[in-house]
Amino acid sequence: QQQVKQSPQSLIVQKGGISIINCAYENTAFDYFPWYQQFPGKGPALLIAIRPDVSEKKEGRFTISFNKSAKQFSLHIMDSQPGDSATYFCAASFMAGTASKLTFGTGTRLQVTL
C-alpha cells in the first residue's frame, strides 16, 4: 500500500531527445507527488511537484503528467541535455499542504549522450 514503483531503472537518451520516466502508486490517499534530481555525491534537489487536482504541470523543460484513475504519474524532460544526466526519483506523500514523510521510488539513472 505504501509502495511507489518507478521505471525504467536506467535510460539513455540522445541530446535533444525526450526523456520519460514513469511511476505508479498503490495508495489512493497519496496526494502530493514530487520529483527529485540527484547528482553523484549530492543530496536530492526538488525539481517539480504536482497535486492530483491537475493532470499536468510544466516548468521549463520539465513536465509532470498525472493520471489519477490509473494511479500513475510521469516526468518528461524535453530537449534533454548532457547536464540533465543524473538520477531521478519520484516520490509521494499524504496530506498535501502539510508536513508528511515521502515514499520514494527506486530511481532512474538518466544518461544524455551527445
Partner 1 sequence: NAGVMQNPRHLVRRRGQEARLRCSPMKGHSHVYWYRQLPEEGLKFMVYLQKENIIDESGMPKERFSAEFPKEGPSILRIQQVVRGDSAAYFCASSPTDEQFFGPGTRLTVL
Q: Residue 67: which residues within 8 A CB-CB, separation 6 or more?
A: 55, 73
CB of 64 to partner 1, least distance (A): 14
Instruction: Check: CB of residue 73 under 8 Å from CB of residue 67.
Output: yes
Give the one residue of 25, 36, 62, 73 binding partner 1; rule: CB under 8 A: 36
- Residue 111 CA to residue 114 CA, distance in Å, equals 10
Give the one residue of 19, 63, 80, 93 binding partner 1; rule: CB under 8 A: 93
- The residue among 17 and 74 lying less far from partner 1, judged by its C-beta, is 74
**What residues between 44 and 83 interact with partner 1 by CB under 8 A?**
44-46, 49
